[in-house]
Chain A
């Protein structure tokens, strides 16, 4: 193993008071997540510790900074946060001290110096409705994305907004927001959805790139399969109560206190793919369902437009009653019309009926 330089992650971790044991624990989590053998833990650790400082440019568009907060402030200090710092984060306008032209110059210099090699991380969606809806240093989000993506090795769309459009793209999508993958077609785009995404999922992708120099296996939606391969419902510790028919009927009833399934309270776990139920949040402390609230489905496209957060997945997403009343009225109208038509037909048939007389029967043809 090469002796690490002073600015390596090892030094940063030790300065932050994180033990090597904790760091190896983190590496073991990643190895387990990627289904790698135990022997690879030390390889990941060595690669991360000695990572050649991959340049990362982080662009924030129509977003709420929640994704950055998730990564840097979920617990203190975070290994995830330190890894982010360890990569050469050359531009992140929320985290960097510089502003204005100096900041933009840093981005441009990094793009030039690391052309074809840097990672581009994007959080937030891109408005196409009007370039003025969201600008940074007078540059529209669209222009900045296309310019920065040109020399990137890969683009990581962090958060549901960057991955699928998210909240800005919710109906009626006033800014014409689109996800990154809709605009970048000539580079690998990795979607890391979630509102916000789980910190270890973001760093898991970065760590894979730092360790192996490649991107993790992606599913049909461009998401790393290892984190998004299964639904929350299938991995939920409350799943047995779903199968037994034990459901919380309200947030403060007996069932809720006993930790029964939250399906009836609107949990979208069955159709949401993310690692919340396995990696959990806040250093593995808990996740929304464990805290007593159903899954909102935040890692899925258009989750804002999937109907109420508090209506069961099998319930109508939009009101039905008006349509039923209208259909019933139309049915009565059509029924009466058909009834009259049938009566008229009957009456006509009756009127046209010729009575057969005895002589008719004896008549020769």
Chain B
């Protein structure tokens, strides 16, 4: 299969398959999680907890006092990676065209050099986080196959996208095709791996904030 054939497959049947599986998996898992339910809390709330869950969604993104100093790599690496990745995914014009094709929505993009800087930052951050995870004995102990998989699924689209844009390999078409296929692999496995935190994170934070509020722990 040539690069162009792979690219055409990735833009056609491959994309349909990947988006289909991703949507299927996300809905399945969301329903599964939400339908598990929680036992009714019969105790009266300690204080008025309105909005505690919603606030927690945002406040948990900020490091608790002293933690930034204790774990700078985790926090800074996390910020740089997530922001860099978001810029690359949502503000590179060809990506916006993909969203327009899928959702019918469009927004202004950024000039390529800015997206390039964001991508490089995200790649470096992801590598730094990997090294940090390998070096720190506690983190290494906590790491299982699911974490390595999540890291690889995220890293490969970034590095292949960067390689395609900069023509690091002679066959641009094949590099672009591999980039798209790697994103499709990410979509397929997203609902069934730790990458599901893209969705579950907000539910978990909301629940934690809400239940803590009811028990008297202000968020």
Interface of A toward B, CB cutoff 8 Å = 221, 231, 234, 242-245, 247, 263-264, 270-271, 300-302, 305-307, 311-318, 320, 323-324, 326-328, 330-332, 334-336, 338-339, 342-343
Contact = CB atoms under 8 A, between A and B. Distances in A.
A315 B28 contact: no
Nearest to A307: B11
B147 interface: no
Contacts of B176: 270-271
A244 B111 CA distance: 5
Given A234-B167, A302-B5, A313-B94, A338 B31 contact: yes
Given A247-B93, A264-B93, A270-B176, A320 B112 contact: no
B35 interface: yes
B112 A316 contact: no
A316 B102 contact: yes
B28 A343 contact: no
How big is the B interface, by class? 35 or more
Interface of B: 2-5, 7-8, 11-13, 15-17, 19-32, 35-36, 93-95, 97-98, 100-102, 109-113, 167, 172-173, 176
B11 A328 contact: no
Given A243-B111, A316-B15, 8 more contacts: A264-B93, A301-B2, A306-B11, A312-B94, A314-B101, A317-B11, A318-B16, A320-B16
6 contacts: A271-B173, A271-B176, A315-B11, A318-B15, A327-B22, A332-B31
Nearest to B15: A316
B110 A314 contact: no
B8 A306 contact: yes
B125 to A, nearest CB: 24
Contacts of B110: 245
B24 A330 contact: yes
Nearest to B8: A306
